[in-house]
Structure formats: C-alpha cells, structure tokens
Amino acid sequence: MNPAWNIALKELYTSVKSRRFAVIVATYLLIFGLAVYAIKDYLIRMGVPTVESNEFYLWGVKAEIYTTPFAMLFTVNMMILTIFGAVLGAALGADAINREVESGTAKVLLGHPVYRDEVINGKFLGMGTLIAVTYLVSYVVMVAVMLILGIPLDGDSLLRGFLAILVTILYTLVFLSMGVLLSTLFKKPETSMLTAVGLAIFLTVFYGIVVGIAAPKLVGPEPPWGTTAHEMWQENLNTWMARLHSINPAHHYVQLVGYIFGGDRFMNYYIPLGDSFTYGFNNLAALLIMLLLPFALAYARFLTSDLN
Amino acid sequence: MSTPAILVENLTKSYGRVKAVDGLSLSVEEGEVFGFLGPNGAGKTTTILSMLGIVIPDGGRIEILGMDMAREPIRIKERIGYLPENATVYGELTAWRNLEFFANFYRMSNAEKEKRIEELLKRVGLWEVRYRKAKTFSKGMKQRLLIAQTLINEPELLILDEPTSGLDPGGAHLVKEIIREAKASGKTVFFSSHVLSEVEELSDRVGIIVRGRLKAIGPIEEIKRQFMELEGYEIKVETKEPLPEIEHEDIVRIERLSPNRAIIFARSDIREWLSRYLASKGITILSLEIEEPSLEDVFLRTIYGREDE
C-alpha cells in the first residue's frame, strides 16, 4: 500500500472516531436542525423565486442571490458552515504533527520505510477525505430535508448546491492547512489547538467587526454628507474594507457561494455558471493560495525539523 | 573485510548551544550485539535518532547496511527494526490494527501480513487482547506492542533504544531473548541501555558515550583491561603460610585481610613476579587472581572520573 494512503486511512479512521469531531459535527447538526425548523414554514410557502440582495456584513459580502428554496436552505447552511467549517478544519489539523511528536509515535512511524512528506501528505489527505465525506453527507441531508418538507427541487439548484459544497470543502481545507501549519510551529498540541480554533473563530466571527471599526479609522474623518469629498471618502472606505476583508478566507468563501447562487434580476434566474466562475475567479484563486501557502510552510517546516 | 552494519563518522548534532553529539564515530560489525552506554543526556538517543534521520544531524556521515542514510533512507528502513525510547503506539487502534498499519509499509501479501502479526502478537503475549484498543493497555503492554512493531519486517538490524525500559521482569526477559535469537541467527543488534548487567550479559562490544563524545569502545574484556591499565590492578592473593613483606616498584598499596590473605593494588599485572617471589620465600600460593572491575566500575569511572582528561 502507498505509505501516504496508509497514513491517510489511519488518520481518517482515528479522526472520525475522535471526540472533537463528534462534538463539532453534533453541534453543527443541532444548529442546522434548529435553523431548518425555524425556516421550514418560510421554505414551504415560498412562491416564485426572485433575485434578492443579501448582505453578509461579518464577511464583507453583498450578493444578489436567486432565492430558490434550495438556495435559501444552502445560504442558511453556508452561514453556519462558515463558522463551523473553519473550526472543524482548524481543530482537525491543529495537533496533526505535534501530537505525534509529543507522544513519540512520530519516532515509531519514521522508523519504518516512509518519507516525511508522505507523513504530512497522508495526514492531510486523511483529514481532507473526512471533511469531504462529511460535507457530501451534509449535502445529501440538505436534499433529504427538502424532500421531507415536500419542496420541489430543480436540477440547476442541485448542481449549484453541489458546486457550493465543493467550495465549502476547499474553504474548510484552508483552515485545515492553517491548523497543520500551527501544529508544526507549536510544540504543545494544546497551544496549537487553542490558537487554531481561536484564529478560526476570530476570522469568522470577530474579524468583520474589527474591519468595520478599523477601516473608517484608516480612511480618516468623514466629510459632510452629499459632498464630492464624501463620495471619495466612501470610495476609499470601500477599498479599505475590501482590502482588509481580502485576507479572510470566510470572505472569499461567502462571496463564492454568493456567485454560485447569484441571480440576474432582468432574467429572474441564476446567472450562467460560466459567469459565476468568472466573477468568483479571484476568490477561488485566493482560497487556493490560502490553502497552499500554509501547507507549503508546514511542509517545509516538517521536512526540516527534528522530531524528537 | 565485510561492510559494517553501522558506520557513523564524525557525527555532530547541537540543540541550540548544547552539543548533544560531538564528532562521534563508531562502527558495528554484522552479526554483532553492540551495547551503547551513557548517562542521561549523554547523546545516546540523539545518536540513534540521527542514525534514522528522525533528527537531522549537523554534520557527519551515517552508513547502515552499506547504504548512505542521507541517500537511501527507505531502502535502509525496509531492512531494519527500530524501537524508540519514550514512545507509544496509536492508542485509538487495536493491537492488531497497530501492527497491520506498520505492516502496510512493507511489501507483504495480506496472508503474510496476517501470519506475521499473529506470530508476533503471540510472541509478545498480546494475542488474547489483540482486538483491544492500545490506549487501554498498561505501559508494559504498550512496550510489548512496540517490540512487536519493531520485528514486523523480520529486520536484519535491530536498533533498540532502552528496550527494557518500562517492562516487567517477564518483558525484560522477552527482550533479552529476542536479542539472543537475533544474534544466533546472524542479525546485528545495536541497543542502548542503562541496565549495565544487561549490557554486560548481551553485548559483544560496548561503546560509552559521555557528553556527546565516545569515551570508550570495544569488547567488554578489552575495555576492562584498558581500564585496569589506566586505573591499576587489584590482585587478590591467598597463601598457605603467612604472607611476608612484599615490595615492588609498581605496588601502590597492600590491604591485608588476614595473615594469609591480601589485596595488592598495583600499577601493572605483577602476578608473575609475585608468584616467583613467594616461591623463592618457600610460600605456597593457594590463589592468585586479578579482581576484575565490573562494567559498572568502568562506566562510573568513565563518566565521572576521566572526563577532564
């Protein structure tokens, strides 16, 4: 068996049985269940879908969403997953390396014919598979919820929902990658775990508030309303908001989902998927960079450090 | 001349300002049992971890089974078994799954794997608990499982770091048996230990490392002989008649235990001279022997006595 795949299977097996995975998934399911319960009547009574403006202030995203019942359900799920996905990814990766070093299993493992890169790749692959399976199951659950509520499903919404799930997997892998990096930087698993989960919560819950406070300070005092100066100030403010939000994976994720379910008011239907891809290309690229950069750093650190 | 099983040349490794291993060189021949001795923090584990690439040495060259560790780590690891110190197995996996996981790194068919795992679990006394998660095991049971994973690939070379640490007498006996069997089947064993009696009992040669430097290396008898040359000889003599006055330029002091028995501390082996001298005085020698230092004496003196030399 390929060593990386052997490690991945072990990682998948142990992670799926871990308490933290069970706690995070159970909490997510509880909140998702409550959310579904809260909006089920609205979903059932929804008339003809329309394109609606949605603002996700915390993540600095404004999106025109074609609100079919499935798009509506996914948007609610996305808001939950923006936080829980980040926490799940960060928590899974945060002790991937240092726990093995601390317990001494890294020494046992590396006494066998396995390269260090196969160890880190295997771990990432295993936990990535777990994340992917979890989200694919959550997608099936969403479809099941729709069917149970007796809400008709259209193929386009299902396809876009599936694409959005793939983006959600990518988004969670970004935090997994950050977690793995922290697990190579900190010696104590407890420290890296706390830092990773703290960072995930900060970026998905508090960072938007910080941006809302910091951006006006960076731009300077607000000129009188209605003047040209105010228009320039507003433009400047928007630029700074966008700049500050651009370092947050949650912003790119929510923006991408917004584009996937994006609607055209004139057509009163989804924008073509090609357009969604074009609009969201920068966000997708940003997420990919945010995934690869920490992983590359973690990789370099793991390959060159002493594991005693 | 055959290729050494282990060849370490000028190995150095520092942690910050602390030199853990300082220009260490040693070689272990094929089929040899080599005991690696040293006090805590002497650099034993760092040497072993460097040999396996688990810590990255600052300098030096390591060849194992004739292959360069820096270039062919995988081919080397396919043929060795390593038992680390202060390590553990995967607690979430059962004893069987742990061994299966490690066996998957080697080219073995499923049938071979199963047969080998069964053999090893029976060998280390964990067959009855093979489906129990390792986290429920005692320290000794975990160590037995670690021993089993060391042997999963039927290695030609065993590298064991404190193999009896944490084991009950039964477990320690098992380790000794494994080492003896390995030697009997021509395999090489490199092991570190604090238990000097164990090292003395099992090793063909020993190396003593102090503060990252190899202070002594060779067969135990040779090391003891060198020790005596350096530290002096302790000669026990017993005669039928009372011992006369004995004077020789190499004698440091004489400790008389009774009129007929004494211990002579000398700078050289003066037994031949002494037997001639006592014969010339018409004294019958009942016994005349050198009191050999124990490995513990040599070890302690090497660590604490000759560091500044």
- Evaluate if residue A211 carries a pLDDT over 90: yes
**Closest CA–CA distance from residue B269 to any residue of chain A (Å):** 47
Contacts of B51 in chain A (CB under 8 A): none
Query: B89 and A110 in contact by Cβ < 8 A?
Result: no
- Evaluate if residue A48 carries a pLDDT over 90: no
- Evaluate if residue B43 carries a pLDDT over 70: yes
Mean pLDDT value of segment A81-90: 94
**Closest CA–CA distance from residue A26 to any residue of chain B (Å):** 21
Name the least confident of A20-29, A114-123, A221-230, B287-296.
Answer: B287-296
Query: Which residue, chain included where needed, has tokens 């320690």?
Result: B172
Is there a contact between B97 and B114 (Cβ–Cβ < 8 Å)? no
Query: Which residue, chain included where needed, has tokens 């404190």?
Result: B162
- The confidence score (pLDDT) of residue B305 equals 64
pLDDT tens digits for A264-290? 989 899 999 999 999 999 999 999 999
A64 vs B60: CA distance, rounded Å: 64
Check CB contact of B150 with chain A, cutoff 8 Å.
yes
Query: B101 and A108 in contact by Cβ < 8 A?
Result: no
- The confidence score (pLDDT) of residue B234 equals 85
Query: A107 and B84 in contact by Cβ < 8 A?
Result: yes
Q: Compute and round to an integer the Cα radius of gyration of chain B.
A: 24
pLDDT: which is higher, A5 or B303: A5
**Closest CA–CA distance from residue A180 to any residue of chain B (Å):** 19
B27 vs B29: CA distance, rounded Å: 7
A94 vs B7: CA distance, rounded Å: 38
Mean pLDDT value of segment A104-123: 94
Query: A308 and B101 in contact by Cβ < 8 A?
Result: no
**Range(s) of the domain holding residue A67:** 3-304
Is there a contact between A157 and A72 (Cβ–Cβ < 8 Å)? no
Mean pLDDT value of segment B267-273: 88
**What residues 9-48 of chain B have any CB closer than 8 A to a CB of chain A?**
15, 45-46
Is there a contact between B295 and B196 (Cβ–Cβ < 8 Å)? yes
> Among B82, B101, B104, whose Cβ lies nearest the Cβ of A111?
B82
Mean pLDDT value of segment B56-61: 93
Query: A111 and B84 in contact by Cβ < 8 A?
Result: yes
**Closest CA–CA distance from residue B136 to any residue of chain A (Å):** 15
Interface mutation target, options A16, A107, A110, A303, chain B, most CBs of B under 10 Å: A107
- Evaluate if residue B98 carries a pLDDT over 60: yes
Query: A112 and B77 in contact by Cβ < 8 A?
Result: yes
User: E strand or H helix at B141, and its extent?
Assistant: helix B139-150
What amino acid occupies position A250? A
Nearest Cα to Cα of residue A21 among A172, A235, A211: A172
Nearest 5°: phi and psi at B194?
Answer: -95, -20
Nearest 5°: phi and psi at B24?
Answer: -80, 135
Name the range with the highest mean pLDDT among A7-16, B36-45, B224-233.
Answer: A7-16
Is B232-305 in CATH node 3.30.70.1560?
yes
**Closest CA–CA distance from residue B82 to any residue of chain A (Å):** 6
- The confidence score (pLDDT) of residue B111 equals 94
Is there a contact between A143 and A153 (Cβ–Cβ < 8 Å)? yes
Please count the other Cβ atoms lying within 10 Å of the Cβ belonging to residue B259: 10
Give the residue from chain B lying closest to A102, CA to CA.
B87
- Evaluate if residue B75 carries a pLDDT over 90: yes
User: E strand or H helix at B34, and its extent?
Assistant: strand B33-37
B201 CB-contact burial (10 Å; exposed 0-12 / middle 13-18 / buried 19+): middle
A183 vs A106: CA distance, rounded Å: 13
Helix axes A228-245, A207-219, angle to 10 degrees: 140
pLDDT tens digits for B126-179? 999 999 999 999 988 999 999 999 999 999 999 999 988 878 888 888 899 999
Token couple for A175: 């935090």
> Among B54, B106, B153, whose Cβ lies nearest the Cβ of A107?
B54
Query: A13 and B86 in contact by Cβ < 8 A?
Result: no
- Chain A residues within 8 Å of chain B (Cβ atoms): 1, 3, 6, 10, 13-14, 17-18, 103-108, 110-115, 304-308
- Evaluate if residue A247 carries a pLDDT over 90: yes
Query: B86 and A104 in contact by Cβ < 8 A?
Result: yes
Residues 6+ apart with CB under 8 A from A284: A167, A170, A252, A256, A277
A83-86 contact pairs (CB < 8 A, 24+): A83/A200, A83/A201, A83/A204, A83/A205, A84/A24, A84/A27, A84/A28, A84/A31, A85/A168, A85/A171, A85/A172, A85/A175, A85/A253, A86/A171, A86/A172, A86/A175, A86/A200, A86/A201, A86/A203, A86/A204, A86/A249, A86/A250
Query: B45 and A115 in contact by Cβ < 8 A?
Result: no
In this structure, what is the dihedral angle of CA atoms B59, B65, B68, B70, given to the nearest 10 degrees? -70
Token couple for A20: 């933290």
- The confidence score (pLDDT) of residue B196 equals 81
Nearest Cα to Cα of residue B271 among B215, B219, B223, B228: B228
Contacts of A17 in chain B (CB under 8 A): 92
B271 vs B30: CA distance, rounded Å: 37
- The confidence score (pLDDT) of residue B180 equals 92
- The confidence score (pLDDT) of residue A246 equals 94
A97 CB-contact burial (10 Å; exposed 0-12 / middle 13-18 / buried 19+): buried
CA–chain centroid gap for B175, Å, is: 13
Nearest 5°: phi and psi at B185?
Answer: -95, 15
**Closest CA–CA distance from residue B25 to any residue of chain A (Å):** 21
Mean pLDDT value of segment A226-246: 93
> Among A13, A108, A113, whose Cβ lies nearest the Cβ of B87?
A108
Mean pLDDT value of segment B116-126: 94
Token couple for A278: 């074009």
Q: Looking at the domain B6-218, which fold is it?
A: Rossmann fold (3.40.50)
From residue B298, alpha-carbon distances to A286, B40, B123, B207, B255 in Å are 65, 17, 35, 12, 22
pLDDT tens digits for A138-193? 999 989 988 998 888 889 999 999 999 999 999 999 999 999 999 999 999 999 99
Total count of domains within chain A: 1
- The confidence score (pLDDT) of residue B222 equals 83
Give the residue from chain A lying closest to B160, CA to CA.
A111
Report residue B307's pLDDT band, with 50, 70 and 90 as the boundaries: very low
From residue B90, alpha-carbon distances to A70, A86, B172 in Å are 43, 27, 22
Phi-psi region of A157 (alpha: psi -120 to 50; beta: other; left: phi over 0): alpha
Give the residue from chain A lying closest to B135, CA to CA.
A103
Q: CATH 3.40.50.300 in chain B, residues?
A: 6-218
Contacts of B49 in chain A (CB under 8 A): 107, 306, 308
Is there a contact between B205 and B262 (Cβ–Cβ < 8 Å)? no
pLDDT tens digits for B206-231? 998 888 998 888 888 888 777 777 77
B10 vs B212: CA distance, rounded Å: 11
- Evaluate if residue A239 carries a pLDDT over 90: yes
Report residue B308's pLDDT band, with 50, 70 and 90 as the boundaries: very low
Rounded to the nearest integer, the mean pLDDT of chain B is 89
Token couple for B150: 């060391």
> Among A103, A106, A111, whose Cβ lies nearest the Cβ of B77?
A111
- Evaluate if residue A4 carries a pLDDT over 50: yes
Is there a contact between A260 and A164 (Cβ–Cβ < 8 Å)? yes
Is there a contact between B43 and B21 (Cβ–Cβ < 8 Å)? yes
A225 CB-contact burial (10 Å; exposed 0-12 / middle 13-18 / buried 19+): exposed
> Among B15, B80, B87, whose Cβ lies nearest the Cβ of A107?
B87
From residue B38, alpha-carbon distances to B35, B158, B209 in Å are 10, 19, 5
- The confidence score (pLDDT) of residue A152 equals 84
Q: CATH 3.30.70.1560 in chain B, residues?
A: 232-305
Query: A111 and B81 in contact by Cβ < 8 A?
Result: yes
A191 vs B46: CA distance, rounded Å: 26
**Closest CA–CA distance from residue A102 to any residue of chain B (Å):** 9
Is there a contact between A64 and A262 (Cβ–Cβ < 8 Å)? yes
Check CB contact of B104 with chain A, cutoff 8 Å.
yes
Count of CB pairs separated by less than 8 Å, A with B: 86
